[in-house]
Amino acid sequence: STDAGGDGGDGGGGDEVITVGFAQTGSESGWRSANTESMKEAFSAENGFELVFNAADNDPAAQIAAVRDFINQGVDAIVIAPIVEDGWDDVLQEAADAGIPVVLEDRTVTASDDLYASWVGLDFKKEGVMAGEWAAETFGDTPTNMVVLEGTTGSAPANDRAAGFDEAIEGTAIEKIDSQTGDFTRDGGKTVMEGFLQKYGVDGIDLVYAHNDDMALGAIEAIEAAGAEPGVDIQIVSIDAVKDGMQALVDGKINFIVECNPLLGELAAQLVTDVLAGEEVEKEVYVEDQSFTQEQAAEVIDSRPY
């Protein structure tokens, strides 16, 4: 770290600036905007940090290049929200060789956990299970045609939310008739849903499982443009619980939302501080999620911070 006063060793730490490179995925969703804001607030100059921010526009190669840049710049620590799970071994090893600790936030990687100090985020598998349990309870033995709007291919939330949901609906009469990526974006969700509606017709689809609210919001536009009523003719379950998603839930256009809490900044900043101070930290720090019916959403929507 940079000892601005040049009088290190006073133990006060008041003039120590910690330089942190943060490799964000991009700006694909409302969730991501809230996460970026939370990170910038926590890693602020006021809190003693200098944040070098990079958003990779969801290009895995560009994100790895950004992390390499941080290593070359000699930052004190690196925080990564990994776009995809695979492909991290080499650059994480390079950071380790350079003596720069890495903290992961939000998404996980398949690389060995020896290569990073800690991870803070959500249980994506459990989110999928919660969404699937709602679908199983709602549709159960009723033959149900479901389409899925998947998140970014190869990302931990897309992989785990699919697995959790599939596990929860096993043995029900829900049939997954199609599944495609909408890249976690509103436009992506809309385009993929338009394709599904063209292929199966409004009457051929009973349920949409969207891996995030933004894709559900895009699907709502496509369903309305096809002359059907989202939430009634075609039910929708999604994940995130961002403002626009919660509003659509209150409005009856989405039927159930599982939360994914984006406010991870403070926990990530604490982990970075502790790791740099040489303290023992947990390898995994899980943040709890809730879920919302339409009625529950109406009760809490005004008090939601994002």
3-state SS of 23-48? EECCCCCHHHHHHHHHHHHHCCCCCC
- Give residues 257-296 in contact with ligand AHR (rule: CB under 6 A): 260
Which one, 29 or 181, has the nearer CB to ligand AHR?
A: 29
Residues in 165-194 that interact with ligand AHR by CB under 6 A: 184
Residue from 36, 118, 181, 212 binding ligand AHR (CB under 6 A)? 212
Q: Which residues contact 188 (CB under 8 A, 6 or more apart)?
A: 149, 181, 182, 215, 218
> What is the closest distance, in whole angstroms, from the C-beta atom of residue 109 to ligand AHR in the complex?
12
Q: How far is the CB of 202 from ligand AHR (least distance, A)?
A: 26
Rounded to an integer, what distance in angstroms lies between the CA atom of residue 195 and that of residue 180? 10
* Beta-ladder partners of 297: none
Contact positions with ligand AHR (CB under 6 A) in 225-244: 239-240
Burial of 163 (0-12, 13-18, 19+ CB in 10 A): middle
By the rule CB under 6 A, 31 interacts with ligand AHR: yes
Among 106, 150, 160, 206, binds ligand AHR (CB under 6 A): 106
Nearest CB to ligand AHR, comparing residues 18 and 55:
55
The conformation of residue 86, written as its DSSP 8-state character, comes to S
d(CA 260, CA 180): 21
The answer to whether 114 touches 98, Cβ cutoff 8 Å, is no
Residue from 24, 29, 54, 255 touching ligand AHR (CB under 6 A): that is 29
Q: Which of 128, 132, 157, 164 binds ligand AHR (CB under 6 A)?
A: 157
List interacting residues with ligand AHR (CB under 6 A). 28-29, 31-32, 106-107, 157, 184, 212, 214, 239-240, 260
